[in-house]
Amino acid sequence: MVGEGRKPKGWFWWVVVTVIGVLVVAAAVLTILKDFHSKLKGHSHHGPVVQKYADALGIAMQFFDVQKSGKLVNSSISWRGDSGLTDGSKEGLDLSKGMYDAGDAMKFGFPMAFTATMLSWAILEYGDQMDAVKQLGHAQDSLRWITDYLINAHPSPNVLYIQVGDPDLDHKCWQRPESMTLQRPLTQVNTSFPGTEVAAETAAAMASACLVFKKIDFAYSSSLLMHAQQLFAFADTYQGSYSVAVPSVQRFYNSSGYGDELLWAASWLYLASADRSYLRYVTIDHGQELGNWRRPSWISWNDKLPGVQVLLSRVDFFGASEVPTAENLALQMYRETAEMMMCSLLPDSPTATPSRTESGLIWVTEWNSLLHPVASAFLAVLYSDYMLTSGTEALFCSGTSYRPGHLRDFAISQVDYVLGENPMKLSYLVGFGENYPRYVHHRGSSIPVDATTGCQDGFKWLNSSAPNPNVAVGALVGGPFQNETYSDSRNNSMQGEPSTYNSALIVGVLSGLVTTSLVAKSFP
């Protein structure tokens, strides 16, 4: 009787344990399915944070605050104050916002718009990774500071103000932006004096930013899209180089052509609006004519074609099934060109570019030499993640196969070089590490906050032998010569002047490397 009494009790607990086990297994399966579903959508949880890149990203982001014009709000840069408050006022415009281009007080619309486009792209691809290290809000705020300016610089469909300040006068003065005494004339492009490349680049900036703000501020996003569409129509209808219409820009941001900007803007407008006419523009209508298929180049503020090729590769990776056959064939040509570019970046590839230093840094030009390696690293990380997310296992370079990780390794090699793993043992990102440039070519950084200077007497600070009194935190300076040397001199603007678009590029690649996750297969 005692044994018979135990039997039901044991059976009961066996049932309980079995049920619990089934529930545990079911919960695990459900978690796996949810994770799988999340990965399919491209919103998977990120991997471990790489602290070095997280620290560098936080530092790089601060240079946007260093470069801000206008009425500053909650500025993290103690030595910066309000400036440029009356910019545009003589024309009835508020052009007080925006960002100064480099170490001067100029607002050049062409590179500023490129800064906005690249920062938008970084946020769209790696916003979750920025968020993981608490930098997403800062990036969005910095982007909006530029797009607020760009909106105001476009007061009517066929008029775009492309410059604030006279560069010849500006460069004859050495003053903090807060104490500028110069006139600040405006320069515009219009139907009589067209500027296709700057109008199209601004359209790209507006279209890409429209996607960033779509879920945050729908009305603002819609306004950006409207401006982008108007600017593209202006750029395409009234074709002409701004370097011809406004010859004074040739000494600073001279354009070598505007076909790349037209494709760039149309690509972003297709992603922002889903309007197939923009896809047709970049594929059937103008792809063969303007796309330079199978002839890869270097991305920069002047050449957007590598960006077009990688961006349209994204469409080919994730959206080709929705694209008509003729457009699809053109997308494949863009992707083939992007893959040729990727193969050229890989140091062990049969088609590796010889344009690099002995230590492996991509090196193309003396002026601002870090522009190309950092920009190339950003595109390489993007392409690597497109491959991973789409399940593409290999990239073939003249018969040799490479995995996505090889592209990521290349990007890491370029970023690590910038952060100090180089023959100079110098971090080219100001504020990162112990050894970084102290004589950055930057007016606000070089002049004490309490100094009273006019236009000419400020040059004593340019020529001072003392390090900059204010650290331009986050500045990515021009970079080394091909022999991997760097002269830390304030008068060495070729190597020592930072730029706002350099910051957008280093922010992009650091956001891609700070951790790992699959990219979203479609933007918001």
Contacts of 384 (CB under 8 A, 6+ apart): 404, 405, 407, 408, 411
Contact assessment for residue 139 and residue 130, using Cβ atoms and an 8 Å cutoff:
yes
pLDDT surpasses 50 at 13: no
Confidence of residue 392 (pLDDT cuts 50, 70, 90): very high
> Average pLDDT over the chain, rounded to whole?
92
Whether 421 sits among the annotated catalytic residues: the reply is no
Angle at the Cα of 327 from the Cα atoms of 285 and 236, rounded to 5 degrees: 30
Q: CB-based contacts of 66: which residues, under 8 Å, 6+ apart?
A: 77, 80, 444, 445, 472, 473, 474, 475
Check if the beta carbon of residue 206 is closer than 8 Å to that of residue 213.
no
Structure tokens at 351: 């088609």
3-state helix, strand, coil in the chain (%, to 5): 55, 5, 40
The rounded percent of the chain whose pLDDT value lies above 70 is 91
pLDDT tens for 303-314 read: 999 999 999 999
Q: What is the pLDDT of residue 45?
A: 65
Distance CA 201, CA 109 (A): 9
Q: For residues 108 and 253, is the Cβ–Cβ distance under 8 A? A: yes
Check pLDDT > 70 for residue 523.
Answer: yes
Residues of 155-172 as b/e, b for ≥16 C-beta within 10 angstroms?
Answer: eeebebbbbbbbbeebbe
**In the predicted model, is pLDDT for residue 412 greater than 90?**
yes
Q: How confident is the model at residue 74 (pLDDT cuts 50, 70, 90)?
A: confident
Q: Cα-flanking dihedrals φ and ψ of residue 392, to 5°?
A: -85, 115
Tokens of 341: 């570019």
Residue whose entry in the numeric block shows the structure tokens 């074709």: 239
Q: What are phi and psi of 397, to 5 degrees?
A: -120, 100
pLDDT class of 39 with cuts at 50, 70, 90: very low
How long a stretch of residues is the chain? 524
State mean pLDDT over 436-456: 94
Mean pLDDT value of segment 240-265: 96
Residues 85, 96 contacting (CB under 8 angstroms)? yes
What is the mean predicted confidence (pLDDT) over 393-410? 97
d(CA 501, CA 379): 15
In 3-state terms, what secondary structure has residue 312?
helix
Determine which of 7-11, 104-108, 473-477 has the lowest per-residue pLDDT on average.
7-11
d(CA 435, CA 71): 33
Stretch 382-397: mean pLDDT, rounded? Answer: 97
pLDDT given at position 25: 42
Which of 104, 128, 170, 303 is catalytic? The answer is 104
CATH 1.50.10.10 applies to domain 58-513: yes
Asked if 154 is an active-site residue, the reply is no
Residue reference for tokens 């297709």:
270
CA angle 137–310–60, rounded 5-degree value: 35
- The first and second tokens of residue 189, run together, are 């492009």
Answer whether residue 9 shows pLDDT above 70: no
Confidence of residue 34 (pLDDT cuts 50, 70, 90): very low
pLDDT at residue 154 in the model: 98
Element (H, E) at 161: strand 160-164
Q: Is the pLDDT of residue 431 over 60?
A: yes
DSSP assignment string, 259-300: HHHHHHHHHHHHHHH--HHHHHIIIIITHHHHS-TT-----S
| Mean pLDDT, rounded, for 233-255 | 95
Q: Are the beta carbons of 445 and 466 closer than 8 angstroms?
A: no
Choose, from 154, 227, 441, 442, the residue flagged as catalytic: 441
Place of tokens 């490397």: 513
pLDDT(488) > 60? yes
Q: What is the mean pLDDT of residues 486-491?
A: 98
Comparing 521 with 13, the larger pLDDT belongs to 521
How does DSSP classify residue 424? T
- For residue 38, the model assigns a pLDDT of 40
The helices-and-strands tally (H runs, E runs) of the chain is 20, 5
Mind listing the pLDDT tens digit for each residue in 158-173? 999 999 999 999 989 9
Report which residue type is found at 370: L
pLDDT of residue 46 exceeding 60, the answer is: yes
Q: Is 488 a catalytic residue?
A: yes
Distance in angstroms (rounded) separating the CA atoms of residues 50 and 39: 21
Q: What is the pLDDT of residue 72?
A: 97
Q: At 477, which amino acid appears?
A: V
The model's confidence at residue 453, banded by pLDDT at 50, 70 and 90, is confident
- pLDDT top residue among 46 and 41: 46
pLDDT more than 90, % of the chain: 87
195 contact partners, CB below 8 Å, separation of at least 6: 160, 162, 189, 235, 240, 241, 242, 245, 246
pLDDT tens-digit series, residues 99-156: 999 999 999 999 999 999 999 999 999 999 999 999 999 999 999 999 999 999 999 9
Name the pLDDT band for 455 (thresholds 50, 70, 90).
Answer: confident
**pTM, rounded to two decimals:** 0.91
